[in-house]
Amino acid sequence: MTTYGQLVQQVRQQLLGFSMSQESLGELAAPMGVSDTTFTVDTETVDNISRGLVEIDDELVLVKKTDATSGTITVQGGLNGRGFEGTTAADHSLAALVRSNPAFPRARIKEAVDKAIATLYPELVVFSSTEITKLAPVFEYELPEDCSDVWYVTAQMIGPSKIAQPIPDWRYNPKARTENFPSGKSIQVFNPVTPGQAIKVVYAKQPTALSVDADEFTTTGYPERYTDLVVYGACMRLIPALESARLQQQAVEATERAALVPPASAIKTMTMYAQLYAQRLEEERAHQFSDVPNYAHFQGS
Task: Encode the chain (301 residues) as per-residue pLDDT tens digits.
Answer: 999 999 999 999 999 876 656 788 999 999 999 999 999 999 998 999 999 999 999 999 999 999 999 999 999 999 999 999 999 999 999 999 999 999 899 999 999 999 999 999 999 999 999 999 999 999 999 999 999 999 999 998 887 777 888 888 999 999 999 999 999 999 999 988 999 999 999 999 999 999 999 999 999 999 999 999 999 999 999 998 887 765 555 555 555 555 555 666 788 889 999 999 999 999 999 998 888 877 544 444 3
Total Cβ atoms within 10 A of residue 147 = 22
Collect all residues with Cβ–Cβ distance below 8 Å to 295 and sequence separation of at least 6. Answer: 152, 166
Q: What is the largest CA-CA distance in the chain?
A: 84
Angle at 234 between CA 103 and CA 289, to 5 degrees: 170
Helix (H, G, I), strand (E, B) or coil at 64: strand
- With beta carbons less than 8 A apart as the criterion, state whether 245 and 254 touch: yes
| Domain 23-102 coded CATH 2.40.30 | yes
HSE-CB for 139 with a 13 A CA cutoff: 9
Distance, in Å, from the CA atom of 161 to the CA atom of 171, rounded to the nearest integer, reads 27
Distance, in Å, from the CA atom of 108 to the CA atom of 71, rounded to the nearest integer, reads 28
Distance, in Å, from the CA atom of 90 to the CA atom of 108, rounded to the nearest integer, reads 16
Whether pTM > 0.75 for this model: the answer is yes
Check residue 51 and report its DSSP letter: S
Pairing of strands 72-75, 59-66: antiparallel
